[in-house]
């Protein structure tokens, strides 16, 4: 992944909306009309890919798309219309709490008989499940911590200092070989997956796109800085126990040493990050901007909502013996370790 | 941290529940004499003794429901 700075290829469209956005990116056709934006199911493949394409211009862009498209006013207008529907849907569907403590209380306990994806992978996951999980998650983990870096200029004081410290840790504490995105690429290599950035965009399901679009939405808008912080806290709080189960899954399936290391590192790192995010970032932000409490709680709820949907989708497919991916992984998987 | 004077006191954060937070890097000497190290900016030391990565916190202190 770090061996090349080539831009990823545009994915296959998933309907008229994403198709029109791609045509516009290539300068070969018009943007989608407003009726199409309001008609497409908001959590569906076509809608979520269209939004993902808009967001990706702010990360690495696409091959054959001029970099200036990032600030194309016509495209930004379409993105805003998509975001408006996405945010409205999230506020209606995900919102459970008004207070930060109440929202966090739900994820600060560990269910004795949990049934999520990490439990499944630990207890009965096979190597093909682990490979699919890694391919799906690569859309985030190969840019791990990037969407959250956008919040830094919108914070100050304790919250800023603590957020920057956690991000520094995510970026390997100044060492390229410890950058978490790099550790994930090493995990992918263990699993015989292609570490090229964006390689599995075509394969990822709509539920996965929702989880990544949510971070980009919160990260790119200063008005959603509270939600971004709530989202980040949720990721850090839930990561440590989940990573412990995933590390066990990697060991049990013989995924390889780098695969084990990625999750082992997250058990330890995120136990620290959780403390720092709750007691410094959230507390620091609330100290100076107490009116953001409801937005922080929304960020927690929205993240739990999106992750639950993804978990249900993966488990539904796997328990039916089906692949969760839209395009199959290459079969020539020679395990090295 | 490059911005901290090296002679400044090291801060340890104590809470009623949860790990002890220490500014890194740290070395921890265990009962059997082995020394383990972490160079993270902040280190969470297990105080509940339930961690499977002792002496580092792995969130095992959390209530189970």
Contacts of B65 in chain A (CB under 8 A): 109-112
Instruction: Supply the ipTM of this predicted assembly.
Output: 0.89
A42 and A173 in a single domain? The answer is no
Same domain (yes/no): A34, A105:
no
Assigned domain for A259 exists: yes
Residue A80: both structure tokens together: 């805003």
Q: Cα–Cα distances in Å, from B58 out to A204, A240, A261? A: 30, 6, 15
pLDDT digits (tens, 9 = 90+) for A15-45: 999 999 999 999 999 999 999 999 999 999 9
Question: Is residue A337 pLDDT above 50, yes or no?
Answer: no
User: In the prediction, which pLDDT does A1 show?
Assistant: 46
Considering only the beta carbons, identify the residue of A108, A169, A267 that sits closest to B58.
Answer: A267
Q: B1 in a domain, yes or no?
A: no
- Asked if the model's pLDDT at residue A333 lies above 70, the reply is no
Closest CA–CA distance from residue A163 to any residue of chain B (Å): 12
Out of A124-133, A201-210, B13-22, which region has the weakest mean confidence (pLDDT)?
Answer: B13-22
Q: Is the pLDDT of residue A194 over 90?
A: yes
B65 → closest Cβ in A111, A173, A244: A111
Joined together, the tokens standing for residue A79 give 């993105």
Q: Is B59 touching A (CB cutoff 8 A)? A: yes
Domain coverage including residue A212: 98-319
B3 lies in some domain: no
- The answer to whether the beta carbons of residues A213 and B32 sit under 8 Å apart is no
What is the rounded average pLDDT for all residues in chain A?
Answer: 95
For the segment A50-73, the average pLDDT, to the nearest whole number, is: 97
* Distance, CA of B18 to CA of A287 (rounded, Å): 22
**Is A220 within a domain?**
yes
Q: Has residue B6 been placed in a domain?
A: no
Calculate the average pLDDT of chain B: 90
Can you tell me the distance from the alpha carbon of A126 to that of A129, in angstroms, rounded to the nearest whole number? Answer: 5
What pLDDT, on a 0 to 100 scale, did the predictor assign at position A131?
98
Domain count, chain A: 2
B52 falls within a domain: yes
Put simply, the answer to whether B58 touches A244 (Cβ < 8 Å) is yes
Same-domain pairing of A193 and A151: yes
Q: For residue A218, is pLDDT > 70? A: yes
pLDDT at position A112: 84
Q: What integer pLDDT is reported at residue B65 of this predicted model?
A: 85
CATH number at residue A258: 1.20.910.10
Measured distance CA(B49)–CA(B56) in Å, rounded: 10
Q: Give the one of B42, B64, B65 whose C-beta lies nearest to A272's C-beta.
A: B42
Please state the rounded mean pLDDT for residues A293-320.
98
Residue A7 lies in a domain: no
Instruction: Specify if A332 maps to a domain.
Output: no
Mean pLDDT (whole number) for B46-53: 94
Name the domain count of chain B. Answer: 1
Encode pLDDT of A278-291 as tens digits: 999 999 999 999 99
- In angstroms, the separation between the Cα of residue A174 and the nearest Cα of chain B is 11
Structure tokens at A279: 């007691």
Is A327 part of a structural domain of the chain?
A: no
> In terms of domains, do A122 and A68 share one?
no
d(CA A274, CA A256): 27
Residues of A in contact with B52 (CB under 8 A): 244
Give the containing element (helix H, strand E) for B26: strand B26-29
A98-120 mean pLDDT: 93
Spatial separation of the C-alpha atoms in residues A83 and A68, rounded to whole Å: 20
């Amino acid at each position: 992944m770090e061996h090349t700075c080539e831009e990823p290829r545009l994915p296959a469209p998933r309907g008229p909306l994403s198709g029109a956005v791609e045509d516009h990116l290539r300068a070969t056709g018009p943007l989608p009309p407003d009726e199409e934006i309001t008609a497409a199911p908001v959590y569906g493949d076509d809608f979520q890919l269209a939004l993902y394409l808009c967001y990706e211009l702010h990360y690495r862009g696409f091959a054959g798309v001029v970099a200036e498209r990032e600030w194309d006013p016509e495209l930004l207008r379409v993105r805003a219309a998509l975001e408006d529907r996405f945010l409205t849907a999230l506020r209606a569907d995900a919102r459970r709490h008004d207070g930060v403590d109440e929202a966090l209380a739900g994820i600060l306990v560990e269910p004795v008989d949990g049934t999520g994806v990490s439990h499944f992978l630990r207890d009965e996951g096979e190597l093909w499940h682990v490979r699919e999980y890694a391919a799906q998650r690569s859309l985030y983990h190969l840019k791990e911590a990037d969407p959250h870096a956008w919040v830094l200029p919108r914070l100050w004081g304790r919250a800023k200092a603590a957020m920057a410290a956690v991000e520094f840790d995510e970026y390997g504490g100044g060492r390229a070989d410890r950058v978490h995105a790099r550790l994930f690429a090493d995990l992918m290599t263990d699993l015989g997956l292609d570490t090229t950035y964006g390689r599995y965009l075509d394969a990822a399901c709509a539920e996965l796109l929702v989880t990544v679009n949510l971070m980009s939405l919160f990260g790119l808008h200063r008005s959603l800085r509270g939600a971004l912080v709530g989202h980040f806290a949720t990721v850090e709080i839930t990561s440590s126990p989940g990573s412990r189960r995933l590390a066990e899954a990697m060991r049990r399936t013989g995924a390889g040493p780098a695969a084990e290391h990625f999750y082992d590192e997250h058990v330890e790192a995120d136990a620290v990050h959780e403390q720092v995010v709750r007691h410094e970032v959230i507390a620091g932000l609330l100290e100076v901007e107490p009116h953001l409490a409801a937005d922080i709680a929304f960020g927690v709820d929205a993240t739990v909502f999106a992750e639950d949907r993804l978990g249900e989708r993966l488990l539904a497919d796997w328990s039916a013996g089906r692949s969760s991916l839209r395009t199959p992984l290459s079969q020539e998987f020679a395990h090295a370790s | 941290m490059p911005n901290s004077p090296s002679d400044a006191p090291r801060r340890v954060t104590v809470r009623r529940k949860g790990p002890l937070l220490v500014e890194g890097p740290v070395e921890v000497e265990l009962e059997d004499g082995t020394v383990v190290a972490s160079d993270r900016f902040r280190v969470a030391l297990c105080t509940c003794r339930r961690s499977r990565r002792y002496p580092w916190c792995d969130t095992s202190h959390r209530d189970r429901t």
